[in-house]
Amino acid sequence: MTDYKHRPTAGVAGQLSSLADPPLISSSRRPAAGKAPAEPAPTTPTDGPVAVYSAVSPGGGSKPRKPVRLPTLARMKRKGTRITAVTCYDATFARLVDDAHIDVVLVGDSLGNVIQGQESTLPVTLDDILYHCRSVRRGLRRAHLVADMPFMTYHSVDVALPNAARLMAEGGAHAVKLEGGADVAPTIARLVGCGIPVMAHIGLTPQSVHAMGGHKIQGRGFAARASLLADARAVEAAGAYAVVLEGIPARLAAEVTDALTIPTIGIGAGVGCDGQILVLYDMLGLNPEFTPKFLKRFAELGALTRAALSAYRTEVRSGDFPGQEHEYHDPKTDLDSLPLKAVP
Ligand code: KIV
């Protein structure tokens, strides 16, 4: 088994030059058999004040966007239209994600790593997910919102039901995601029976990092392949409407995708899945040190943020910021032209 590999980060110059042409959809991407070509990237509205956000069609039209629902995702699988998904943790990014017409937004327990700075996802609580889910919900109009069930919040059916219900009722999630295969099938069936849509998650399941002996690629070897296929079939039979395939060989992911009628959403699972998900902060380059093989950085916001902060520091120190254009004046007194000490 192989750990997620880290490769060296690009230098800052390389990072900034790649910003000139950030590919939303890689032009070199291999089309998978039976898959429809990618839609053109939507243009992003840029001028709406945050507090009065209203969803408009890309390009500025006022036609409201159709929300992504479970039948939308099922139809996308049938038609071979790839599903796009990212994680998200706050309202500001949620608006940007929605504006870009990403189909599925996951409030993932990866927030333990990228927001809280934890070593693993294990310390994340249901209240943490609820807090971020409510924030993300406020930023979304179109995307399908999935809330992750944290470690030990679904270890029995009786525990899972009230926790999943809170994510839906208080968090505003449209569905919940939980890790595990045949072992969690009874829980999935119970939640689905209560009207809670469940996205399953098999393969490399980060909540089992210690049981797996690290973040290791799963499903290698005949026994592990068979077990993963059995897990995929079990979660589908239990009523999951989609399944995340994480950290498994591309060929196995394609095989699972072919075997199931529900959509597969891959991360580190190759192009043969029905859709892809990435952790937002990783794909935007906000964690430049995290460089596993599966990850593509579509922007270098880490480098950009450092450069912006450094420019801010320089300008504050030099007095170049704030400039006159950033100042307020008092037209009622007309004191601006007088020296400071001239006013009693
Ligand atoms: O928590 C998370 O971000 C996830 C995705 C990586 C699928 O589970």
**Does 12 or 191 have the greater pLDDT score?**
191
Task: Name the residue type at position 181.
Answer: G
The alpha carbon of 62 and the centre of ligand 1 are apart by a number of angstroms equal to 33
Asked whether residue 201 carries a pLDDT value surpassing 70, the answer given is: yes
Contact 38, 114 (CB under 8 A): no
Asked whether residue 205 carries a pLDDT value surpassing 80, the answer given is: yes
Q: Give the pLDDT band of residue 4 (cuts 50, 70, 90).
A: low
Asked whether residue 313 carries a pLDDT value surpassing 90, the answer given is: yes
Asked whether residue 132 carries a pLDDT value surpassing 80, the answer given is: yes
pLDDT attached to residue 62: 52
> Can you tell me the distance from the alpha carbon of 224 to that of 230, in angstroms, rounded to the nearest whole number?
10
> Can you tell me the distance from the alpha carbon of 112 to that of 124, in angstroms, rounded to the nearest whole number?
6
Residue to probe by mutation, ligand 1, list 86, 148, 179, 264, most atoms within 8 Å of CB: 148
The alpha carbon of 48 and the centre of ligand 1 are apart by a number of angstroms equal to 30
Asked whether residue 292 carries a pLDDT value surpassing 60, the answer given is: yes
Tell me which residue of 139, 43, 54, 55 sits closest to 91, measured CA to CA: 139
pTM of the model: 0.84
Beta-bridged to residue 48, according to DSSP, are: none
pLDDT attached to residue 44: 40
pLDDT attached to residue 298: 98
Q: Render pLDDT for 150-187 as a digit per residue (tens, 0 to 9).
A: 999 999 999 999 999 999 999 999 999 999 999 999 99
Q: Which atom of ligand 1 is nearest to the CA of 278?
A: 6
pLDDT attached to residue 7: 32
DSSP 212-247: HTSSB----SHHHHHHHHHHHHHHHHHT-SEEEEES
Cβ burial 268-305 (10 Å sphere, 16+ → b, else e): bbbebbbbbbbbbbbbbbbbbebbeebbebbbbbbbbe
Segment 311-325 mean pLDDT: 98
Q: Which atom of ligand 1 is nearest to the CA of 279?
A: 3
pLDDT attached to residue 65: 76
pLDDT attached to residue 3: 53
Segment 206-229 mean pLDDT: 97
Q: Render pLDDT for 297-312 as a digit per residue (tens, 0 to 9).
A: 999 999 999 999 999 9
Q: Render pLDDT for 227-240 as a digit per residue (tens, 0 to 9).
A: 999 999 999 999 99
Asked which of 44-53, 167-176, 251-260 is least confident by mean pLDDT, the reply is 44-53
For residue 168 the two structure tokens come to: 């839906």
| CA of residue 25 relative to chain centroid, distance | 16
pLDDT attached to residue 64: 67
> Can you tell me the distance from the alpha carbon of 22 to that of 42, in angstroms, rounded to the nearest whole number?
14
What's the full length of the chain, in residues?
A: 344
End-to-end CA distance of the chain: 78
Asked which of 115-124, 286-295, 331-340 is least confident by mean pLDDT, the reply is 331-340
> Can you tell me the distance from the alpha carbon of 341 to that of 344, in angstroms, rounded to the nearest whole number?
7
Helix count (H) and strand count (E) of the chain?
12, 8
Q: Give the pLDDT band of residue 337 (cuts 50, 70, 90).
A: confident
Beta-bridged to residue 106, according to DSSP, are: 87, 146
pLDDT attached to residue 49: 35
Asked whether residue 149 carries a pLDDT value surpassing 90, the answer given is: yes
Task: Map tokens 């927030």 to a residue.
Answer: 111
Nearest CA to ligand 1 atom 5: 108
Q: Give the pLDDT band of residue 246 (cuts 50, 70, 90).
A: very high
Q: Which atom of ligand 1 is nearest to the CA of 277?
A: 7
Segment 250-256 mean pLDDT: 98
pLDDT attached to residue 6: 38
Pairing of β 144-148 and β 104-107: parallel
Phi, psi for 330 (deg, rounded to 5): -120, 90
Apex 327 CA angle, 326 and 332, nearest 5 = 145
Pairing of β 83-87 and β 198-203: unpaired
Asked whether residue 260 carries a pLDDT value surpassing 90, the answer given is: yes
- Known catalytic membership, residue 315: no
pLDDT attached to residue 19: 34
279 to each of 37, 52, 115, 212, how far by Cα in Å? 24, 27, 11, 21
DSSP 286-339: SSTT---TT---S--HHHHHHHHHHHHHHHHHHT-SS-GGG----TTT--TTS-
pLDDT attached to residue 104: 98
239 to each of 56, 151, 260, 277, how far by Cα in Å? 34, 21, 12, 21
pLDDT attached to residue 310: 98
Q: Give the pLDDT band of residue 335 (cuts 50, 70, 90).
A: confident
For residue 2 the two structure tokens come to: 């192989």
* Ligand 1 residue neighbourhood (C-beta within 6 Å): 87, 106, 108-110, 148, 201, 244, 246, 267, 277, 279
For residue 240 the two structure tokens come to: 């999951």
Q: Which of 179, 236, 246, 300 does the annotation list as catalytic?
A: 246
Contact 12, 303 (CB under 8 A): yes
Q: Give the pLDDT band of residue 342 (cuts 50, 70, 90).
A: confident
| CA of residue 339 relative to chain centroid, distance | 54
Contact 164, 149 (CB under 8 A): yes
Apex 105 CA angle, 276 and 197, nearest 5 = 95
Segment 272-299 mean pLDDT: 97
Which CATH class name applies to 61-307?
A: alpha beta
Domain locations along the chain:
61-307
Strand ranges (DSSP E) for 97-188? 104-107, 144-148, 175-179
